[in-house]
Amino acid sequence: MFRSSALKRLGYSTAALAALLAMAAQPAFAQEENGDRGGDSVLQVDDVRALARQLGVSLDDTRPEEQYETSAFGRPLIIGGELEAAGQWRDNLDLTGEDGVGKLTPEAQLEFLYLFSDRMIAFAEVKAFVDSEVWTETGDRESDAGLDLREAWVLAPRLFGSDFSLQVGRQQYQDRREWWWNENLDSVRLHYVQGRFTAFLGLAEAQIRTSTLEDISPEDEDVVRVLGNAAYTWTRHDRLEAFLLSQQDHSGAPALNAVLEEDDEDAADSDLTWLGLRARTRQSIGDAGKVFLSGDLAVVDGDETVTEFVDFAPGQIQAVDRFSQEVSGWGADVSLSWELPIDLEPVASIAFAYGSGDDTPADASDDSFRQSGLQGDNGKFRGISRFRYYGETLRPELSNLRVLTLSLGSPAPAPAPVEGEAWIEAVFHNYAQAEASTEFRSERLDVDPNGVDEHLGDALDVIYSFESGRRWEFEATLGGFRYGDAFGVDRGEWAYSASFKLDYNF
């Protein structure tokens, strides 16, 4: 276990990535074009339109090859985006039976790509959204609508004829599994592309409010991040990557006994560094079909100051205690998918994820792994649609957690009379804490385990997805989580979730 100052960690991590940038590259990589889903691609720096699409459009979305094009000041302006009808429902995630809520969340995205020249491009994405509660268990409903500037950046490809490109502005950081990051950040990023080897190094800090409804979140305010990635791709399905994330939180903790608005709560000021590796490969096993292997490994190290709050008055909280601790943990995620050599070519998958826990919570260190805070944990095994691979209902963070996942997916009938491809997948999860604890990091669960039993429960998700060309996409999910021994007398209770979305891309 290593201990060092935040400045030294930042220096060592940046130096490590710089060394990767200096590696000798191989001849140019020609991307395979075939129907085999889930492959990786290298940034197409010689095609600025393709480059902007790769950097600007989420992996969750597709766009047609031909988009509306006009001119502004004598240069091409390309306009695209998507219209989305969507909704979500969930119930009993606090074990009261009174938290049920159903929402409609339609969105409209507009994307603008402006080609100043072959050496300068600009991209912007604006989203209009509605978040409307159409049903709640209690009968109280809320509705919000607003605008969000999701991206606004300029890119200078091949600076001075080199293999480096510079991207400046609010831009998308997204890895293929969103295990590290899926966030739009105000940043400066330097890309390097040479044949099969690619890398980037970015410096990010929130600068401006981008939503009409929300200001910069307290967790992100005055947080400086260095993000890095280096990847070597020798085929679409064979890839090795290194990741770096180092953050320094300069926001400062509130004075003890200070009274704050609830929306201003920032429980932890953390100076942390994550380092990790990812590998994936596809191998043919003759008449037995194909197997796809993937693995992530990461460590986190640093220190943080934690402030504890209590309710003070409606809408207000009070800082009542504070402590500092060192952080050191590790996490891993491995999966194997087998494409069966039978009709329809169904895919069976097994995955195991582990985030270390803290077996001595009374000392001044925390050995629990935690993810970056930028993660989405959204990906797929071999199907069409990306989904929450740690569970659609629970959506846990990989921290002090063991997750065993089993999945079976297969091509499915497309909805008549529309032509296209469809996929249906059933996914089972078993959850257990690495160390029994009353704390559990989850995006949705609003109840604490008992701290005695490790078994959190089990979940089952069914995902149906369909796409027609590059225009239409549809996805529907049904999920359920069965509470385990860690919830005592509530063992065997169920929480439920469902969602759908229909996208038209233009």
Residue indicated by tokens 């402030």: 307
In whole angstroms, how far apart are CA 376 and each of 103, 203, 240? 20, 20, 21
pLDDT of residue 124: 98
Q: How many CB atoms lie within 10 A of CB 305?
A: 16
Type of residue numbered 402: R
Specify the pLDDT at position 39. Answer: 65
- Tell me how long the chain is: 506
pLDDT of residue 17: 46
The per-residue DSSP string of 406-459 comes to EEEEEEEPPPTT--SEEEEEEEEEEEE-SS--S---BSS--S---SS--EEEEE
pLDDT at position 118: 78
Q: What averages of pLDDT result for each successive group of 10 residues across the chain (506 residues)?
A: 42 46 34 48 79 89 93 95 97 93 98 92 97 94 96 95 96 97 98 95 96 92 97 92 97 92 91 98 93 98 95 93 95 97 94 96 92 96 93 97 98 86 97 96 93 97 95 96 97 97 97
Structure confidence at residue 51 (pLDDT): 86
